[in-house]
Structure 1
Amino acid sequence: MNQHTDERVRLTVRDGIADVRLMRAAKMNALDPDMFDALLATGEALMLDTSVRSVLLSGEGRAFCAGLDMASFERMREADKGGGDGLFDEPLSARTHGIANAAQRICTIWRDLPVPVIAAVHGVAFGGGLQLALGADMRIVAPDAKLSVMEIKWGLVPDMAGIWLLRELVRPDVVRELTYTGRQVGGEEALKIGLATTLAADPYAAALEVASMIARQSPDAIRAAKRLLNLPSHDPAAVLLAESVEQAKLIGSPNQVEAVTANIEKRAAQFAE
Structure 2
Amino acid sequence: MERVSIEITHGVADVRLNRPGKRNALDPAMFAALVRAGERLKTEPGLRAVVLSGEGPDFCAGLDFAAFQAMRSGDRISADVDLPPTDGPAKATGQRAAYVWTEVPVPVIAAITGHALGGGLQVALGADIRLVTADAKLSVLEIKWGLIPDMTGTQVLPELVGPDVAKELTFTGRVVSGAEAVTLGLATRVSPDPRSEALDMARAIAQRSPDAVRAAKRLLTARVDRATGLAAEQTEITALIGSPNQVEAVTAEFDKRAPRFTDPS
Smaller-chain TM-score bracket? over 0.9
Structure 2-normalised TM-score?
0.93
Choose 120-129 or 6-15, whichever is displaced more.
6-15
The answer to whether 1:227 aligns with 2:218 is yes
- Structure 1 residues 124 and 97, CA, compared in 2 at 3 Å: closer, same or farther? farther
Other-structure match for 2:139: 148
Report if aligned partners of 2:28, 2:80 keep a CA contact under 8 Å in 1: no
Structure 1-normalised TM-score?
0.90
Q: Percent identity?
A: 56
Equivalences for residues 93-108 of structure 1 within 5 A: 98-100=88-90, 101-108=92-99
The answer to whether 1:262 aligns with 2:252 is yes
Other-structure match for 2:163: 172
> What letter corresponds to residue 260 of structure 1 in structure 2?
V
Task: Show CA shifts across 1:143-194 (max 9, x none).
Answer: 0101000001111110111111101100211111111111100111101100
> What letter corresponds to residue 23 of structure 2 in structure 1?
M
> What letter corresponds to residue 155 of structure 1 in structure 2?
G
Task: Show CA shifts across 1:14-56 (max 9, x none).
Answer: 0110110011000010010011111111111101113111000
Report if aligned partners of 2:118, 2:142 keep a CA contact under 8 Å in 1: yes
The whole-number CA distance in structure 2 between the counterparts of 1:14 and 1:147 is: 30
Other-structure match for 2:262: 272
* Consecutive unaligned residues in structure 2, runs of 5 or more: none
Other-structure match for 1:250: 240
Report if aligned partners of 2:23, 2:58 keep a CA contact under 8 Å in 1: yes
The whole-number CA distance in structure 2 between the counterparts of 1:268 and 1:98 is: 37
Equivalences for residues 202-217 of structure 1 within 5 A: 202-217=193-208
Other-structure match for 1:62: 57
Task: Show CA shifts across 1:72-112 (max 9, x none).
Answer: 2355676x67xx77x4238xxxx966332111000000011
**Counterpart pick for 1:44 among 39, 42, 48:** 39
Segments ≥4 residues shifted beyond 4 Å: 74-78
The whole-number CA distance in structure 2 between the counterparts of 1:239 and 1:88 is: 35
> What letter corresponds to residue 243 of structure 2 in structure 1?
S
* Consecutive unaligned residues in structure 1, runs of 5 or more: 1-5
Tell me the matched-pair count.
Answer: 259
**Counterpart pick for 1:14 among 5, 9, 12:** 9
The answer to whether 1:160 aligns with 2:160 is no
Q: Which protein has greater RCO, CA pairs closer than 8 Å, 6+ apart?
A: 2
CA RMSD, Structure 1 to Structure 2 (Å):
1.8
Other-structure match for 1:3: none
The whole-number CA distance in structure 1 between the counterparts of 2:8 and 2:255 is: 29
Report if aligned partners of 2:158, 2:165 keep a CA contact under 8 Å in 1: no
